[in-house]
Chain A
Amino acid sequence: MISLTIDGQRVEVEEGSTVLEAAQKAGIKIPTLCHHKALRPYGSCRVCLVEIERQNGSTVQTSCTYPAQEGLVVRTNTEDVLEARETIFELLLARCPDSEEVRRVAAEWGVSETGFTKKNRDCILCGKCVRMCEERMGRAAIGFVGRGSNKEVTPPFGTPSEVCQVCGACDFICPTGRIDLSEVTSRKPRPILSEYNKGLVSRPAVYIPSPQAVPNLALIDREHCARMLGRSCEVCKEFCEADAIRFDQQEERQTLDVGAMILAPGVEHFDGAKRGEYGFSHYENVVSNIQFERMLSASGPTEGKVLRLSDGHHPKSIAFIQCVGSRDAVTGNKYCSSFCCMAAIKEAILAREHNPDAQITIFCMDVRAFGKGFDRFYQRAKEEYGIEFVQGMISRIVGLPRSKNLRVSYVPEKGERVDREVDMVVLSTGFQPDEDLRRTAGKLNVQLDAFGFCRTNPLEPVQTSREGVFVAGVFQEPKDIPETVMQGSGAAACALALLSDVRGTMITEKTYPPEHDFTDATPRIGVFVCHCGTNIASVVDVERVVEAAKQLPFVGHAEANIYTCADNSQDHMREVVEERDLNRILVASCTPRTHLALFRETAREVGINPFLVEMANIREQCSWVHAAEPEAATGKAIDLMRMAAARTARLTPAAPEELPVVKSALVLGGGPSGMTAALSLAAQGFDVHLVEKEQELGGGLRDLHYTLEGDDIQAFRENLIAAVTNSGRIEVHLGTNLVDIEGHAGDFLSTIATSRGAKLEIKHGVLIVATGGREFKPQQFLYGEDPRVVTQRELEDAIANGEPVVGDRDTVVMIQCVGSRDEERPYCSRVCCAQAVKNALKIKEKNPDATVVVLYRDMRTYGFQEIEYQRAREAGVLFFRYDPEMPPTVSGREDLVVKFDDPITGQRKPLRTDLLVLSTGIVPAEDNPHISELAKLPLDEDGFFLEAHVKLRPVDFASEGIFLCGLAHSPKFLKENIFQAMAAAGRAATILSKDSLLVGGEIAWVDGTKCVSCLTCTRVCPYGAPTISFSDPHRRIEIDPVKCMGCGSCAAECPAMAIQLHNFVDSQISAAIAAMMGAR
């Protein structure tokens, strides 16, 4: 080791180190531009100057090239050094005034303007590219030519090099963006396009697949890594501080012994280029919806800005083209991809929010907003955001060579061909299973359908053709997020049913050291500031945050980590806590939502109460949102950390209690959902009380006869009831209603009563609400007045019973959206379109010569239903779109006449019909409000139950221990009800499988001396946690620690300030605010 002195600080470094490395080791900042860790020192930019003391005076040298020598005395901030450096920065700024890197580094050292003539050259001749190519890649395909001001980087003789291996390392490492690979190489440069960013940008050969990747680790792309391809490089090795790069790593095969398997591989997106007429991959300003999503993402390649790829301008007009590669006989993708309409509407709204002046048009066949709340969203897009929807398919798109605009040609429903010029086109590409899936399915011996999706039975929607192998997500059928999540939980429930015998056998109980009592100890906080790789450190000066932390009261230790959450960092944290005798931990990093649990766990492992751990979010709330202002962001990070530290010093421990779990469930509703949920729970080994208000099981199944695919629903119903009856674990309570429920997750006490008043108390750990819905009974279109007017269900009944519904040459008219998508019920009932298609086909089967007319607004036959819709059209069923402003009218004396606007001629046409079928919607069950009140469960605007999160938690209620499924949630098909019921059972099992629940911790408590029993808290609490204590003579409020979710609503609202939330007490919050204000 060599010892030298830098700015008065002694530093020890290894022989062969440079002065710059020594300074970096000592934490002394020196600017660099031409220096690169993986390259030999070069010393051309001259900004890393330092002064080196010598016997006969001092000398100014570049620290990156000057060898560290024993006893060397170095100063980095003398007047000479600073002056010369400033002038050199000015020279470089004059040379390359547009280089961001030069400007950034210069600005860091206080130089933002130059006094010299600006040259607008694009290269600072740092030689990184040349060195990279020669030293690392062993190619020397580029080099310097010329002298003095004429020096430049070029391949030999200025002609593209033949030895260039097109690795792009020169381009990658260039700080000014000077390198144009096409000038360097004689071959065609092929950037590695980022899969995650959908080819909008390139990525290096070492990369993290996506910011959400699990595990969030970098990997080397074997097919592009120069080293892996047998050449030199190994640059990554120089940078990996953990020494984790292993070039000799081989593919490993692992054998896992499993009892069940779930396939959730997803599918690919349709390649827009296969529809050549849309110009995707040909015209720069035609992008796919997924690319557009990446643009909208704040962490995406355009940082959330919608930009034209041709010129980086904000588009003033955007056209979305729907059904690209979906509902498409040309490519064979006849199915509907189910998600693209809503995705387009969302993207259109976001684009509009980005640029309120942008004109946005969605070209589509039908707007398939069939999901829960979707139609409202669609209406908002039209009404609030002014998104234009044009029914009509685009025949072709032509790129205009000069403006790079796009001419979109289409034929509207009424009228002639229209050409419209737009700035940007977004293709709503659908789903498409790929070849890999076929191979995998082949190996697994799982059958696929003709398109390559996993074949399932509508009545067993997660079961593949192979026993024990289940499927979830879009691999089964195209679907949106809520259904994907439901199906995932449903598949898990099915798998767990097979594994109930061995549940929990692989768990090893973790033991913790006894917790230290720090009650009287002075707080000693350990502050860990995370670089999060470059996520935080590229914006926030982490070292300054650490330095600021060291100055704060009660801080016993502060340090920075590259990744505080990494395993080795956790080991280190444990060591530091013990070494430095710390009793509180503050991590300044990302959101507590993802990592607080981890740091609490670490604290527990060293005997610190987990509630003495705090986090300051300097990533999502700082570096990510203030990326453009590093200086201000650093200030904010320090403030956030300072506030958190003030709080941390005042945190108090909490001891959650363990409450035993009652291992049985109560399922409310004996329809298909309730029965399926009950059976799933029973199969998983739990006892179930199935409460049905009717005298028999079956619910809505009683009125259905066949599925669109042709399955016999009545047989299914009988089997289901038999299974329930024979289960042995399911106790069926027919003719009973829920009259009371109290308790909390893991320990509910419900009272059910028969209509005659017989009551029964049931203890259960979870509640599943499966109360169903019902058919809308219309009062228009002569329904109930004219016997020739029926509902679809009535028609289905008649068909199933073999009644002669129509004559051979009769006419049947079906009107869609009766009682749906109107002012009173502004939601889509989802099932009616397919129902109409189903029944129309049945009629056509029996009476091929009958005329069947369907009057619709949008045909919402999503997923594979689309194929049946096409079949119906092929079978001669006539579909006419009607405008809700000009709905069909029905008159009937002798002849039943339907009048509607012919969309082609625009004229209103009378049509005599023999049968009018109304496609009526689904409405919520009548007793939903009653149950909502009893169990404190929220309802949505339409009267269906409201889940915890529409997309991500579709079967959970916000209150723990209560789940929902079926029509109680929203209108949907039988198969969807089935997997949602399974999902509810799966989610419920996460509680039932535990012996006890931990309660308490960060929850609210009442100061009895202040409580005036005003009941404000009971009204604001979404979970029903505060109640009047009847054991208290003063009848004050008490809070059920199990029900309390720690949201703090009661504490905030309590007029008497009698309620405090643990670790969010006033003194802690005031301290945090004071810390911040004091900083200003």
Chain B
Amino acid sequence: MPRITVEDLDKIAERARKATLLSEGAGRARITMHMGSCGLAAGAQKVMEALLEECERKGIQDVILTRSGCAGLCSREPMATVELRGEAPIKYVELTPERIRKILEEHVLGGKVVEEYFLREQPVQPPMEPISEEEPISGVTDNGFFARQTLIALRNRGLIDPEKIDEYIARDGYRALLKALTSMTPEEIIQTIKDSGLRGRGGAGFPTGLKWELCRTAAGEPKYIICNGDEGDPGAFMDRSIVEADPHSVLEGMIIGAFAIGAHQGYIYIRNEYPLALEKLLTAIEQARDYGLLGGNILGSGFSFDVKVQRGAGAFVCGEETALIAAIEGRPPEPRQRPPFPAQCGLWDKPTNINNVETWANVPPIILRGSEWFSSMGTEKSKGTKVFCLVGKIKNTGLVEVPMGITLREVIFEIGGGMPNGKQFKAVQTGGPSGGCIPAELIDLPIDYERLTEAGSIMGSGGMIVMDEDTCVVDVARYFTRFTNRESCGKCSACRDGSEALLEILDRVCEGEGKDEDIALLEKLVKAIKLGSMCGLGQTLPTPVVTTLKYFRPEYEAHIREKRCPAGVCKSLIRYLVDEEACTGCMLCVKECPVEAISGETKQPQTIDQSKCIKCGLCYAVCKFDAVSRT
């Protein structure tokens, strides 16, 4: 493919539109299969194969079959979007090969929406058209999961084929780069980013423009930029999803950033556990190079820049800037003292700017639409939108992008759909293992950097783990502590040995062996770990313990003093018993019990042998007569 010039971008966009837009006569209908990791895991590949087979068999010619990344609602995968010319696109969920065949038959060919599989709350699907500068990117339905979402970083999710650069270009892709290279100075770009109020989406929320400026003005050549794609929080996958669905948005952001900072080499550090993202990224880089968007003299501007992809071996700590730099340099990923900051002394001891995937993806729209557009969204100090991973005890699990300042209630109940099975909301853990556990009473907390910090938690990279009444917070604290203890790089005694000691105490509290002084010991420990650790991992690892202690102290006390787990989670502290009155002797529990601990005659009350019971809770869950009780 020839190298493109500035003028070529328009042509490519035009060509892509012609090839994809139904309104441009590209076809009669279009079926987009969402094939992100979540979709594939749910069976999207089989559905796609069935669709292709069916089209082949039926000799269908005028239906465009395409694929894209995750559309956001991961819990309902596999998903497909069906669009007939002149009609609004329709999303189908929880597909199987049979269902897609039925949809093809009835909807695509028959023109009748299959309501059984159809998503009740449909988003307004923006067409594959240039995004006009006046109209907001958002434009989704006003209720349900897609309601209230404002897509900037996720602007192309589920819409374009991530392996087709042309489709990205058709949706204003690389326009921001063009604007930056042809009509802006690096200083102007930095000023725009500063004015936009964009803050690092990786966790700490450092102002991005300021970070760029520090690196630009730091002494030393060459300068490097790095994209941090080492997303390691349990329950967080926004970066993966962005790279899978829209890799060029990250590349474009990086090229703009490199130009602004004065770097000619970039690194994308991406974990090897994201094979799909890696594949899409490598394809995107090849395509961008072919178009001359990476490499020497980009778009004839005289500016050169290229990226290398560094695969991470899956260490949580590599999300820490200095550890990540060490990993790229081929050293063990251990954080080091800051200052000096990477902006002064980073990769190979040169000035280096690191932003995460989501931050980079935010850059092109800001450049294209201006800082004011971006800063008009969000709160006073937290501008724009933030992508959250909504997981845990919640109906709609998935990826949401919402404006800063939205309340937890809106996200959890309106977008997330609240708790399944009518359970009570108990708490939400934001910011992953480094974040805190926010209790139900703070449900109306607006989400931005400052407010979350005030509540004792953090924004983090955007994980949001929702807990219902059946969640034991001590167990949650233990879970995250175990994670951070395993993922600690082991350098700082405070973090390494502190988390181990923390875990030991939490273990014994959960085991019913807690001592009265353990809470004081925990408090002493968390202080030392927080103050005594070098990097963010250690400094924040006590947060789950700190916040659960702050908001749920009685639950700790119940474990320690009464040897009771109020949520009924900690196995050592619970017992399952059969209520003889209520038991009908249906034997369902007997069948389900994996260890044959339940016995009794048919139609007679059953008994549970406590010495055999492993407290898996299956009997409790399956009993239709509420005859199994947990104490």
Contacts and interface: CB of A to CB of B under 8 A. Distances in A.
Interface of A: 41-47, 49, 60-62, 65-67, 69, 80-81, 83-88, 91-92, 94-95, 115-117, 124-125, 127, 143-144, 146-151
A288 to B, nearest CB: 44
B493 A45 contact: yes
B340 A147 contact: no
A84 B498 CA distance: 11
B493 A148 contact: no
Contact of B491 (A69, A84, A91, A125): A125
B508 to A, nearest CB: 9
Interface residues of B, number: 34
A148 B528 contact: no
B279 interface: no
A60 B528 CA distance: 10
Given A124-B493, A148-B485, A148-B499, A46 B533 contact: yes
A66 B485 CA distance: 25
Contact of B486 (A81, A84, A147): A147
B588 interface: no
Closest 9 CB pairs of A and B: A151-B490, A87-B528, A65-B337, A91-B497, A84-B531, A60-B531, A148-B488, A84-B528, A46-B532
B492 A143 contact: no
Given A83-B527, A87-B532, A148-B490, A125 B496 contact: yes
A400 B108 CA distance: 93
Contact of A62 (B337, B339, B340): B337
Contacts, number: 117
Interface string B475-494: 00000000001111111111
A84 B527 contact: yes
A96 to B, nearest CB: 10
Contacts of A94: 497, 501
Interface centre among A83, A84, A92, by most chain B C-beta atoms within 10 angstroms, is A84
Contact of B340 (A47, A60, A67, A151): A67
13 contacts: A46-B493, A69-B339, A83-B528, A88-B494, A95-B497, A115-B521, A125-B493, A148-B486, A148-B490, A148-B499, A149-B497, A149-B499, A151-B496
A541 to B, nearest CB: 26
Interface in B480-528: 485-494, 496-501, 504, 521, 524-525, 527-528
B317 interface: yes
Contacts of A65: 336-337, 534
Contact of A84 (B489, B497, B521, B532): B532
A49 B485 CA distance: 22
Given A65-B337, A116-B501, A147-B315, A80 B489 contact: no
B332 interface: yes
Contacts of B334: 144
A60 B504 CA distance: 26
Given A43-B534, A44-B493, A116-B504, A147 B528 contact: no
A294 B485 CA distance: 49
Given A83-B527, A88-B532, 20 more contacts: A43-B337, A43-B491, A46-B494, A47-B493, A81-B531, A84-B531, A86-B528, A87-B498, A87-B525, A87-B528, A94-B501, A116-B504, A125-B496, A147-B486, A148-B487, A148-B490, A149-B486, A149-B499, A151-B489, A151-B490
B533 A147 contact: no
B487 A147 contact: yes
Contacts of A47: 493
A146 B525 CA distance: 23
A148 B494 CA distance: 11
Contacts of A66: 337, 339
Nearest to A18: B337
Given A87-B525, A148-B485, A117 B501 contact: yes
Contacts of B490: 125, 144, 146-151
A143 B332 contact: yes
A151 B495 CA distance: 12
A62 B493 CA distance: 12
B524 A83 contact: yes
Nearest to A64: B337
Interface centre among B340, B489, B528, by most chain A C-beta atoms within 10 angstroms, is B528
B494 A43 contact: no
Contacts of B492: 43-44, 46
Interface in B235-256: none
B337 A92 contact: no
B498 A91 contact: yes
A81 B533 CA distance: 12
A327 to B, nearest CB: 61
A115 B498 CA distance: 12
A535 to B, nearest CB: 32
A62 B494 CA distance: 12
Contacts of A150: 486, 490
Nearest to B333: A147
A851 to B, nearest CB: 85
B493 A92 contact: yes
Contacts of B486: 147-150
A703 B336 CA distance: 90
Contacts of B534: 43, 46, 62, 65
Nearest to A114: B501
A115 B489 CA distance: 24
Contacts of A42: 491
A45 B498 CA distance: 12
B623 to A, nearest CB: 40
Interface in B330-358: 332, 334, 336-337, 339-340
B313 to A, nearest CB: 11
A923 B536 CA distance: 90
A47 B499 CA distance: 17
Contacts of A67: 339-340
Contact of A144 (B332, B337, B499, B532): B332
Contacts of A115: 521
A150 B494 CA distance: 15
Contacts of A41: 337
A83 B500 CA distance: 19
A69 B339 CA distance: 10
A91 B493 contact: yes
A20 to B, nearest CB: 12
A358 B361 CA distance: 82
Contacts of B497: 91-92, 94-95, 116, 149
A45 to B, nearest CB: 5
Contacts of B315: 147
Contacts of A148: 485-490, 496, 499-500
Contacts of A85: 532
A43 B322 CA distance: 14
Contacts of A60: 531-532
Given A116-B501, A143-B332, A91 B489 contact: no
Contacts of A43: 336-337, 491-492, 534
Contacts of B337: 41, 43, 61-62, 65-66
B491 A44 contact: yes
B84 to A, nearest CB: 53
A86 B521 CA distance: 13
Nearest to A40: B336
A66 B532 CA distance: 13
Contacts of A88: 493-494, 498, 528, 532
Nearest to A146: B490
Nearest to B498: A91
B532 to A, nearest CB: 4
A61 to B, nearest CB: 8
A49 B332 contact: no
B528 A117 contact: no
A43 B489 CA distance: 13
A356 B84 CA distance: 106
A723 B530 CA distance: 93
Contacts of B488: 147-149
A87 B505 CA distance: 15
Interface centre among A43, A44, A115, A151, by most chain B C-beta atoms within 10 angstroms, is A44
